[in-house]
Amino acid sequence: MKLMNMKPVWISCLLLLVIAANSSCKKFLDREVESNYKEDEVFVNYDRMQQAGIGVYAFLYNRFGFQRIDNAMLASACDEADHAVPASAIQKYNTGTWTAVSNPEDCWAFFYQGIRRANLFLENSVNYKQIVYRDTLDPANKSSYEANVKDIAWLRAEVRLLRALYYFELIKRYGGVPLVDRSTYTDEELKQFKRKTFDECASFIKAECDSVYPQLKDSWVGFSSEKWRGRITQGVALALKARVLLYAASPLNNPSNDVEKWIAAVKAAHEVIALGKYGLHNSYSGLFRLGNGADGNTEVIFAIQGWARNDFERMNYPVGYSQGGEGSTCPSQNLVDAYEMKATGMGIGEPGSGYDPANPYAGRDPRLGMSILTNNTTFKNRPVESWVGGLDGLGKLNATTTGYYLRKFVDEGLDLEKNTSSVHTWVLFRYAEILLDYAEAMNEAYGPEASSGYSMTAKAAVDRVRQRSGVGMPLLPPGLSKDEMRARIRNERRVELAFEEHRFFDVRRWKIAEQTENLPLMAMQITKTPEGTFKYLVRKAEDRIFQPRMYWYPIPEQEVLKSEGNLAQSPGW
């Protein structure tokens, strides 16, 4: 029946029916509480303005840390590990099938949203003193006014630093990116954005770190009933500067090996050391289980506050545990082989190291056992059975593909059957990394054992990390050449910072990914003999593919297309 042929009365009835149906969807007793403020309604008082600033911290979540890429850790996209689930998107990195339209860890839009949110806050809180003053006209609120003004001043500095951090996260993936300094642009203006160079972006980040440093608080511990723990501090500004300058000096971004860039990186890392505020925690295994008290620890410079959860344990407990391990991050033999011998401090392949291939986990760097669950290690009151046919070994659904399970970050004390949980905090900057940043830059700038006016040599900085209480690895041998020291520092980073999202980027900035990431990922096949002993045989778990273009992420294709040619795609994509 055509509408034109309907009689007016039917049309009226139909309309009434539609209106009635629409009205009935609104519950009569519903009360509307306005929660979606417009921009001009946000920056009118302390509370809303403060929440807008704190909101910039939200972009720390989902791009750092635990199983964030289709349930996988970033470690499974480099030679540190394999992800047990073959269909996970993380595998695209390993099969070389990621593209400008399908990048499992694309961060472009995400961090630019964070940067826009930061710009919005910074633009609208310029007159924060007047805004807070209007909000607290009562003279009796003077102390509250002073506290609120101070808080927004801190927050403005923090937001600038977060913006700098988000830029760093972009440039370490994409290379130089457009620097966006306003929250609002016309479409035409947006199309005109071009990439800055990596160095220009790094200079901007460094300048921001220097600029906000004096405006930041030195610590939030013990302040205001501890309610602001986890916010940015002065140490974060120095640590970020150290990291960005190290990246700027690294071979990928410093092809002419300009030594001045290394010297700048030395100075920046030494500023953190010279603060005298940070040190090494006395428990390597405990360092990653500090929860939200992490920022009170002497080693932790910045940690992303977490929440009580057990999904990480559900993923990473060995599969044979009745509490429900599902298998996730499987550390590689490539990584396991990097752990030296504790007694000699030598690599396992060196003559005289003391390594016994028939008993491969005995006498190794203690960090191996603290980071990786190897076969026959006691975990939750029983030995891990990674051998073929064992409770946790090959043949079981979602079992390890490499013969190893992840131990770092994992809370052994949870009872998954009772759904117990614990707070998981992701440490973003810690002092050991600073020492290794410093060592790397010192070695490149001045050599392995020169102090050149600084408080320690490259060797001394590495030795400090190696000699952490509870680790106690032997000092590096003296007289190493610069090349030898470089190799030792790189190995030390690999071991000390394993699974902490450094290796994936380190092999890129060192420009060695074509070697390391094209090697197959190796696994340990363990067989239990009738006598109860084990036989160990290394096998290939999978081939990996890395092409030169993969040193940089591709900018999402739609962004390149929208720019009408102004935004240059990363080379090779």
Partner 1 sequence: MKRIYSILFIGLNLVWLFMACNKALTFPEGDSTPLPVLEGATARLHWIGPKYKVAVQALMKDEKGIKTVQMKNGEWQLDTVFNVGDQSSFSIQDSFLVPKDLNPTQHTLEFRITNSEGGLIRKYVTVEDLSSENLIAGYNPDELPPDIKVVKPTVTKFLGFSAAPIKVDFEATISDLEINSIELKLWGEAADGQPVELSETINPTDEAAKKQYTLIKSLELPSGKPGLYQYIIRSTDASGNKKTVGGEVSVGYVDRLYLSDAQNAAEVTAQGYDQAGGCRGIGTIYSMKKQGNNTFLIDYYYPASGAENIRFIAFLGPNKPFSNTGGTQAGINYTLDGENVIGSSAAAPATLTVDLQQAGFKLPVTQKGYYHIAVDMTKRTISATPYTPTLPIDAVKYPGWSDASPWQYLAVTGPTVAGSAGGWTEATTSPKLTRDPDNKYLFSGSFQTTGGTSNMSLNAPLAALGGDVWGKGWFRLAAARAAMKDDYGDLITTVGAVGASSGGANWGFSTSPAGTYKASYDLALQRFRIVRTGN
Closest CA to 93 of 123, 63, 72: 72
Least gap, CB of 507 to partner 1 (angstroms): 16
Least gap, CB of 404 to partner 1 (angstroms): 13
Binding partner 1 (rule: CB under 8 A), the pick from 524, 550, 555, 560 is 524
Q: Is 123 in the site for partner 1 (CB under 8 A)?
A: no
Least gap, CB of 478 to partner 1 (angstroms): 3
Q: Toward partner 1, which CB reaches closer, 51 or 452?
A: 452
Q: Is 525 in the site for partner 1 (CB under 8 A)?
A: yes
Least gap, CB of 539 to partner 1 (angstroms): 5
Enumerate the β-bridge partners of residue 405.
373
Q: Toward partner 1, which CB reaches closer, 51 or 467?
A: 467
Q: Toward partner 1, which CB reaches closer, 134 or 539?
A: 539
Least gap, CB of 520 to partner 1 (angstroms): 4
Contact 166, 118 (CB under 8 A): yes
Binding partner 1 (rule: CB under 8 A), the pick from 64, 110, 536, 573 is 536
Least gap, CB of 531 to partner 1 (angstroms): 18
- Over the window 542 to 561, marking each residue x when it contacts partner 1 by CB under 8 A and - when it does not, the resulting string is -xx-----------------
Enumerate the β-bridge partners of residue 526.
536
Binding partner 1 (rule: CB under 8 A), the pick from 97, 539, 568, 572 is 539
Q: Is 514 in the site for partner 1 (CB under 8 A)?
A: no
Least gap, CB of 354 to partner 1 (angstroms): 12
Contact 151, 50 (CB under 8 A): yes
Q: Could you say which residues in the range 358-417 bind partner 1, by CB under 8 A? A: 360
Q: Toward partner 1, which CB reaches closer, 52 or 522?
A: 522
Which alpha helices (H) appear in 175-306, and where do they start and end? Answer: 187-191, 198-212, 234-249, 259-274, 284-287
Specify the DSSP element, H or E, that contains 160: helix 142-174
Contact 402, 541 (CB under 8 A): yes
Query: What is the DSSP-derived secondary structure letter of residue 364?
Result: B
Q: Could you say which residues in the range 456-495 bind partner 1, by CB under 8 A? A: 477-480
Closest CA to 409 of 571, 544, 529, 286: 286
Contact 400, 326 (CB under 8 A): no
- Over the window 328 to 357, marking each residue x when it contacts partner 1 by CB under 8 A and - when it does not, the resulting string is -----x---x----------xx-xx--x-x
Binding partner 1 (rule: CB under 8 A), the pick from 150, 182, 482, 540 is 540
Least gap, CB of 351 to partner 1 (angstroms): 4
Binding partner 1 (rule: CB under 8 A), the pick from 518, 527, 557, 562 is 518
Closest CA to 284 of 369, 171, 367, 382: 367
Q: Toward partner 1, which CB reaches closer, 66 or 355?
A: 355
Q: What letters, b where the CB count within 10 A reaches 16 and e where it falls short, cover 89-118?
A: bbbbbbebebebeebbbbbbebbbebbbbb
Q: Is 455 in the site for partner 1 (CB under 8 A)?
A: yes
Least gap, CB of 537 to partner 1 (angstroms): 5
32 CB contacts (<8 Å, ≥6 apart)? none
139's tokens: 């003279």
Closest CA to 361 of 374, 342, 378: 374
Q: Toward partner 1, which CB reaches closer, 292 or 334?
A: 334
| N-to-C CA span, the chain | 56
Least gap, CB of 474 to partner 1 (angstroms): 12
Q: Toward partner 1, which CB reaches closer, 257 or 455?
A: 455
Least gap, CB of 387 to partner 1 (angstroms): 15
HSE-CB at 550 with a 13 A cutoff on CA atoms is 26
Q: Is 275 in the site for partner 1 (CB under 8 A)?
A: no
**N residues, the chain:** 573
Least gap, CB of 59 to partner 1 (angstroms): 38
460 CB contacts (<8 Å, ≥6 apart)? none
Q: Is 70 in the site for partner 1 (CB under 8 A)?
A: no
Q: Toward partner 1, which CB reaches closer, 156 or 488?
A: 488
Q: Toward partner 1, which CB reaches closer, 318 or 360?
A: 360
Secondary structure, 3-state, 386-448: CCCCCCCCCCCCCCCCCCCEECCCCCCCCCHHHCCCEECCEEEEEHHHHHHHHHHHHHHHHCC
Least gap, CB of 375 to partner 1 (angstroms): 13
509 CB contacts (<8 Å, ≥6 apart)? 172, 247, 250, 251, 252, 253
Q: Toward partner 1, which CB reaches closer, 183 or 527?
A: 527
Q: Toward partner 1, which CB reaches closer, 111 or 361?
A: 361
Binding partner 1 (rule: CB under 8 A), the pick from 102, 127, 184, 451 is 451
Stretch that binds partner 1, among 110-118, 160-168, 400-408, 537-545 (CB under 8 A): 537-545
What distance in Å separates the CA atoms of residue 408 and residue 498, rounded to the nearest whole number? 9
69 CB contacts (<8 Å, ≥6 apart)? 77, 88, 89, 90, 104, 105
Q: Where on the chain is the footprint of partner 1 (CB under 8 A)?
A: 333, 337, 348-349, 351-352, 355, 357, 360, 449, 451, 455, 477-480, 518-520, 522, 524-525, 536-540, 543-544
